[in-house]
Amino acid sequence: MKLSVLKIDGTDSGKQVELDERVFGITPNDHAIYLDVVQYLAHQRQGTSKTKDRSEIAHSTKKLGRQKGGGGARHGSLKANIFVGGGRVFGPKPRIYRTKLNKKVKALARFSALSYKAQENAITFVEPFTMEAPKTKEFIQILANIKAGDRKVLFVLPQNSTNIYLSSRNLPYVKVITVDEINTYTIMNANSLVLVDGVQDILSSRVR
């Protein structure tokens, strides 16, 4: 599959890139995508939620009333969960949500996601460019020129560019990352991908 490389003004640069079938042309594996996305979302969780049970509540241990003859249920402590300020039953405890996933499965999921985007014609290539200073207005114009869309655009750079990142930071529908940060979730969560020329070669070099 060949795609034209655009200039940042939206015109054709005259160059075409050949997409590696091992990266952009495989039969997508939905289960691998599912496993990788579940792992990614699980790793975003801090796992620090905590509530106190009755053994951790600071209350008097004095028995509230006599065992029998009070006309109601028997109670032994204000720490019980039925009282305001008492301990919580089955409350959350700190835990680790991290899971393990084989590297080959993660790679399969990532390439499956890229193949889906290729099938949907949702990938645009642009020439490498630089920005002299962070200019959000200028970055918006670039997106408009290459017709990247205005809903969930994933912009992938071969290497980090502070000015490009800062230019996009105020745009809620644009996410700028480097090729080292690319993952299955960010690919599937985007409506369109904008790849700077050179990213495809880095991805192809990682096929095993």
For the chain, list the domains and their CATH numbers. 2-46+105-205 (3.40.1370.10), 51-91 (no CATH)
What is d(CA 143, CA 149) in angstroms, rounded to the nearest whole number?
A: 7
CA-atom Rg of the chain in angstroms? 27
The per-residue pLDDT for range 126-183, each reduced to its tens digit, is: 999 988 999 999 999 999 998 888 789 999 999 998 999 999 999 999 999 999 999 9
Which residues, 6 or more positions from 132, have their beta carbon under 8 angstroms from its beta carbon?
163
Q: Is 124 helix (H, G, I), strand (E, B) or coil?
A: strand
Q: Model-level pTM?
A: 0.82
Q: What one-letter code names the amino acid at 141?
A: Q
What is d(CA 146, CA 102) in angstroms, rounded to the nearest whole number?
A: 37
The per-residue pLDDT for range 29-64, each reduced to its tens digit, is: 999 999 999 999 999 999 999 999 999 999 888 888
Check if the beta carbon of residue 33 is closer than 8 Å to that of residue 184: yes
> Worst-scoring range by mean pLDDT, 67-76, 114-123, 174-183?
67-76
Check if the beta carbon of residue 131 is closer than 8 Å to that of residue 161: yes
pLDDT-derived band at 70, boundaries 50, 70, 90? confident
User: CA 171: distance to chain centroid?
Assistant: 16
Count of CB atoms situated within 10 Å of the CB of 105: 16
Check if the beta carbon of residue 176 is closer than 8 Å to that of residue 157: yes
Among positive and negative, which fits the CA dihedral 202, 109, 143, 18? Answer: positive
